[in-house]
Structure 1
Amino acid sequence: MDKSTILVVDDTAQNIDVLSGILKKKYKVKAALSGEKALKIAQTSPPDMILLDIMMPNMDGYEVCRKLKQDPLTASIPVIFVTAKNETDDESKGLALGAVDFMSKPVRPAIVEARVATHLALYDQNKHLENTVKRRTEELEQTQFEIIKRLGRAAEYKDNETGLHVIRMSHYAKLIAEQLALDPTWVDLVFKASPMHDIGKIGIPDSILQKPGKLTEEEWHTMRKHTHFGATILGEHSSALMRLASEIALSHHEKWDGSGYPYGLAGTDIPLSGRVVAVADVFDALTSVRPYKEAWPMERAIAFINENSGSHFDPEIVTAFIAVLPQVEVIKQQYADEIVPPLN
């Protein structure tokens, strides 16, 4: 088992030698004679613990600790102040900055060994707990994603022979969101939530969904209800993924000029997720076979998207879509309708 690494920070070499002599049998010991050097070491090769002097020139221990706790890379490293300053106010200030303990100079070997061992054990326990929570959270999120994909595919099978539409358009939506340089977490949520955009079609009769000809006005009225059906099916949920899926289901048929449904929203009143998915959804619908139409060539579909920029579609979204067309073509070929991939 690898030894834990302790970084000892003190502007006096003799003090470093004392602590190093106590610790070197059980731990790897690194040393820094200044706060600046300590920060550089901690950022490039984070230790498992830092023993930190307070009274140092240029940058004192308090400032070093403050900077360590502000940096996500070093924030969790336990810091123990080792100092001649042992007033209650000094300890309170250090603990408020995030230190886990104080040791007074001159140090006693038994105290140093015991405190270091205790806080390393706590640090290891916390890391294990954090990793466990992270793993469980990832498992839960993956389960949610799998449910969403499968429900999306189930809905799409009602009017698409292979259900690959939801796979392609979710990849298109991700490409668009990435091109817009949006927050990576949000991009991932859009990718995972967009397969549910038409889940409300479960509530639409097959006679309408699979009708080979033009829908009557009454049939269109029924068809438009799938947005509300979808939002109702997904409901209100604390999960960010489920909330976004519901938002997309409700808003992806709104149009930039306000002529869409169900609410006739216009411009940026339409949720960004709905604007992104609108382009991805329509493009894939145009380039896919439907009961009422043949698949359009890509060039014709792209021309349609461009022609409807500013009316049906958000112009910024269209620009982003055009920029990622090479990747879109790869996805289109990878998930062509004649290929039936596994659900992963």
Structure 2
Amino acid sequence: MDLDYCGLRHGVSKPDATDTPRNVAWGTVTEPAHDGLNFVTFRADDKPERLDGWYEAQQRGFHQGRTSEELRQHFGEHLRADDVVLRGVWQDSPALGSGTIPVATYASYDKTLNTGNTGNTGSGLQRVRMISDVTVSPTHRRRGLLRTMMTVDLADAVEQGVPLAVLTASEGAIYGRFGFGPAIFEHALEVDTGPRFALRPFVDDGSVELLEPAEAWPAMAQIFARFHEQTRGSVERPQFYEPILTGAFNFEDGEDRKLRTAVHVDGSGTPDGYVAYRPNPRKDGPARSMSATWSRSRRRRTSGSGVSSPTSTSATASSGAEPPSTIPSCGPWSIPTG
């Protein structure tokens, strides 16, 4: 099929002949498709009996451990706060087992992306379809499951008037057929803060405050909101950034007790930058080094991403759909570790 929006067309792979995708409204939809498989579209509170199995399939697909009650709680908060639409493919009659874990998963939700094109609105923010948690079991690959779920979701985005879609991909080549292409490349920098490390002289009428992550969160949210409003390529953050950046839960091993934060305030006392970091121990001595990752756009941390658009855009995008492997920073400044 082709997605046609504002006169510009982007090809999307045609579903298999046995597929029966159709446009979906914001509700629960169950579609028989492919022999012995059911495609189910739902929200977290619509089908609680499906949710635990969906969580396990997502974790298994990304080679992570089984879920815990705490992980399901925080994941559920994200699903509800960001109004996430979940898709999954379940077997009707598995040869073994209960069949509660789906053989494919997919999630999407709408946020905003700063395209830099203010037009008549005075704001460069455009709605964007965020795609996340895409998995297909090794036992059910090459059957068109991903193609069916993504085709239906992108068609729904067009119907809802959403002009862009973004995702973070470990295998970017998979998504080219849907119109996605590289948008962000990750850059890493490791700073040795040994005796020879020093900052160049600079004038700063503000100050840096070391805060506990939970204390720093209101300032971090305020700083990023201003950054997002002003910075081309910025993507609005989903809810799960709050537990990550406050150290409450990092989606890998629970509470993050090593996370540290610092906030910079200008001469008037307004927060205008922050950093969240974990000290890395040196092999030959105490912890003296810090690793940070950021994009070229004012040191905002991003991941390799793809952007697909039924319209045309040159905006840079990062989905933020997966919890970041390095800690985001935001602000045009940096500080050494003591």
- Report the TM-score, using the length of structure 1 for normalisation: 0.26
Comparing both chains, which one has the higher relative contact order based on Cα–Cα distances under 8 Å and sequence gaps of 6 or more? Answer: 2
Greater strand content: 2
Which is helix-richer, 1 or 2?
1
TM-score for the superposition, normalised by structure 2: 0.26
Question: Which structure: larger Rg?
Answer: 1
